Amino acid sequence: MSTWLEGRVVGQTRWTERLLSLQVQAPFGPFEAGQFTRLALDIGGERMARPYSLVNAPATAPLEFYYNVVPHGPLSPRLAALQAGDGVYVAPDAAGFLVLREVPQAQNLWLICTGTGLGPFLSILRTAEPWRRFRRVTLVHATRVVADQAYRGLIAALAAERGAQFGFVPMLSREAAPGALAGRSPEAIRDGRLERAAQADRSAACSHVMLCGNPDMVKEVTAALAERGMHKHRRRAPGHVTAETYW
Ligand SMILES: Cc1cc2nc3c(=O)[nH]c(=O)nc-3n(C[C@H](O)[C@H](O)[C@H](O)COP(=O)(O)OP(=O)(O)OC[C@H]3O[C@@H](n4cnc5c(N)ncnc54)[C@H](O)[C@@H]3O)c2cc1C
Ligand SMILES: NC(=O)c1ccc[n+]([C@@H]2O[C@H](COP(=O)([O-])OP(=O)(O)OC[C@H]3O[C@@H](n4cnc5c(N)ncnc54)[C@H](OP(=O)(O)O)[C@@H]3O)[C@@H](O)[C@H]2O)c1
């Protein structure tokens, strides 16, 4: 990536004390839904940069980033202090392979994420492609508590628009709430609760799974899927699982 774009903050949504969405105006080029770019601030005379997934759909403005404040992290607490009108550097290019172009044809698409890993899937769901290509699309969002289930309005709007083609399964690991699955996704895959809740087939014969967020979740879900004959997708060795980890 070459020179930085000088972005301007146009808004900041505060979902909870530590979960936020930053909206940025910048002359950003084309990208594919699911990709990330980098945000940067000058801190102590040094340009501190980190990757962040784009939540907005391609060719829409402003750019949106869904992130959490990592206590004592070098960048995220500073991003959280930004207000409308403040400057933030944006890398000019998007990168990443968590995109539908990399996903082979299947009947059902599963998007499984933890926490802020929801972001790239929202961008994908805001485009026409998943609805054109897959018979059923299931979004699984796993968080500790219900307060961390951000973007519920957008997800409800997608559900209303897409009807039976779309399924949404919220998962909560540290409290109970009506309509949410309890526990973690690897267990819910192994004991069949996830498929029952989603009312969708997740067999290797007809599904592709995209994973995003906590690296331990990605590792453990990948292992649970491998037990069912679903393997990492590679261009040279087509499979059923595509993943991106955030740390
Ligand atoms: C490809 C890619 C895309 C990313 N997209 C996003 C995104 O859209 N939203 C986002 O919030 N983060 C995203 N991240 C993580 C992000 O780049 C930063 O690491 C994070 O915002 C913390 O920055 P920091 O400088 O405060 O702390 P860092 O020094 O970067 O991280 C310190 C520690 O915080 C933990 N951590 C980092 N990111 C997260 C997270 N998202 N949730 C929980 N714990 C975390 C890890 O244990 C990490 O070692 C992405 C990372 C990668 C590699
Ligand atoms: N969420 C909060 O209230 C909170 C508050 C202060 C600080 N933090 C810090 O912020 C960071 C991120 O927290 P977060 O809640 O956004 O993200 P997270 O820790 O990645 O948790 C998100 C979801 O992923 C689940 N998960 C974790 N490991 C998993 C695995 N191996 N397999 C499957 N699922 C797994 C969690 O379940 P489990 O609950 O079972 O781990 C939780 O349901 C953490 O470092 C945390 O210390 C969080």
5-90 adopts what CATH topology? Elongation Factor Tu (Ef-tu); domain 3 (2.40.30)
Structural domain spans, the chain: 5-90, 100-245
Quick one: which atom of ligand 1 is closest to the CA of 70?
26
Q: Is ligand 1 within 6 A of the CB of residue 74?
A: yes
Å from CA of 75 to ligand 1 middle: 9
What pLDDT is recorded for position 205? 78
CATH number of 100-245: 3.40.50.80
> Any idea which ligand is nearest the CA of 219?
2
Secondary structure (H, E, C), 132-201: HHCCEEEEEEEECCHHHCCCHHHHHHHHHHHHHHEEEEEEECCCCCCCCEECCHHHHHHCCHHHHHHCCC
Average pLDDT over residues 44-70: 98
**pLDDT of 130 over the 90 cut:** yes
pLDDT tens readout for residues 168-225 = 999 999 999 999 999 999 999 999 999 999 987 777 679 999 999 999 999 999 999 9
Å from CA of 128 to ligand 2 middle: 31
Average pLDDT over residues 104-123: 97
pLDDT tens readout for residues 132-169 = 999 999 999 999 999 999 999 999 999 999 999 999 99
Residue whose C-alpha is closest to residue 107's, from 137, 134, 131: 134
